[in-house]
Amino acid sequence: MTAKARPVSQREAGDQARAFTKARASNFYYAFSSLPHAKRNAIYAVYAFAGTVDDAVDEAGNDAERFDRLRRARAVLDVACLDRSDRALEEEWLTVALQGAIEQYSIPKSYFLDLIAGMDQDIRQTRFSTYADLELYCYRAAAVIGLISIEIFGYDRSRRELAIEAATDMGKALQITNIMRDVKEDAARGRIYLAQEDLALHGYSEADVFANVDNDAFRNLMAEYGHRAEALYASGLRLIPLLDGPRSRMCCNGLQGVYHGILTEIIKRDYDVYSERISPSKAGRLLALFRLWISGAWPKRQPR
């Protein structure tokens, strides 16, 4: 008879979530390091869940496997959201880590369901007809992570509506930056995230995307997305002064700043994302992060 695996402790689950985050995304790992211990562990748990869901789309061999992985992610979420009295002793580190974060910070389950819906959309949909369609995807794929994060960071509840709006816009800005940076890589996987209406407006075809054509039409198209992202970053910055304590503000400002730096580099290169993938060096990221931490800890301006 095979011995039953022992339950995973909260500490062990936290260590696994931290290791997952460090291995998968150093940008996020180092940005999170400014947080107090409890908040940091909760963010690692959320990122590990989000990364696992995202990997369901990117790494599975076929759609049947992708949908099965999403089903399993939903099962993890369902258990993680149970009342403590209804839970069995868990042997899965991701479930234990997520349980701790959701329970400690009262994170709404609906945010995680939106995240799963975004990944389901990513499996089923490889084109977006309108920019409004793309914005919905950006909300599900990234903005909900911002909404989850502010529950962990803590924020001025008297400004809740503003905090949610700013966090949503910040998440969308990060996702649009990713879309702009990864046009070539996404095309290689048969995906085009730039909205069809925008391609048509600028006279840039799907065939051009797949052929990596860098011309005036492409640069004008990318400039439009750059302007949209800049406006979203500006809106998102209203969140920083609302967050609880300098360490939460440091983390949030570091995250948005690193991605805004990628957008700035894309613009500096005249939107040439085909010749090479834009990725700052580790030393450059850490130096930028340190500066962003300092500037974000004690913001000078209050949101209006």
In tens, the pLDDT along 252-278 reads 888 888 899 999 999 999 999 999 988
Determine the longest span between alpha carbons in the chain, in angstroms.
68
Q: Degrees (nearest 5) of the Cα angle 288, 294, 298?
A: 140
- Domains defined for the chain, CATH in brackets: 8-124 (1.10.600.10), 126-304 (1.10.600.10)
Secondary structure (3-state) at 155: strand
Secondary structure (3-state) at 33: coil
Q: What is the DSSP letter of 243?
A: B
Looking at residues 145-168, what average pLDDT do you find? 96
Q: What pLDDT digit, counting tens, does each position of 271-303 carry? A: 999 999 887 655 455 444 445 444 444 555 544
* pLDDT higher than 70, residue 235: yes
Banded pLDDT at 190 (limits 50, 70, 90) = very high
Distance CA 117, CA 120 (A): 5
Under 8 Å CB-to-CB from 293, ≥6 apart: which residues? 34, 250, 253, 254
Number of helices and strands in the chain (H, E): 15, 0
Q: Which two tokens stand for residue 212?
A: 């990596």
Distance CA 222, CA 215 (A): 11
Banded pLDDT at 1 (limits 50, 70, 90) = very low
Q: What pLDDT digit, counting tens, does each position of 72-92 carry? A: 889 999 999 987 655 555 568
- The pLDDT, as a whole number, for residue 54 is 82
- The pLDDT, as a whole number, for residue 201 is 98
- The pLDDT, as a whole number, for residue 95 is 92
Banded pLDDT at 224 (limits 50, 70, 90) = very high
Q: Degrees (nearest 5) of the Cα angle 278, 168, 298?
A: 80
Average pLDDT over the chain reads 87
Q: What pLDDT digit, counting tens, does each position of 49-65 carry? A: 998 888 777 776 788 88
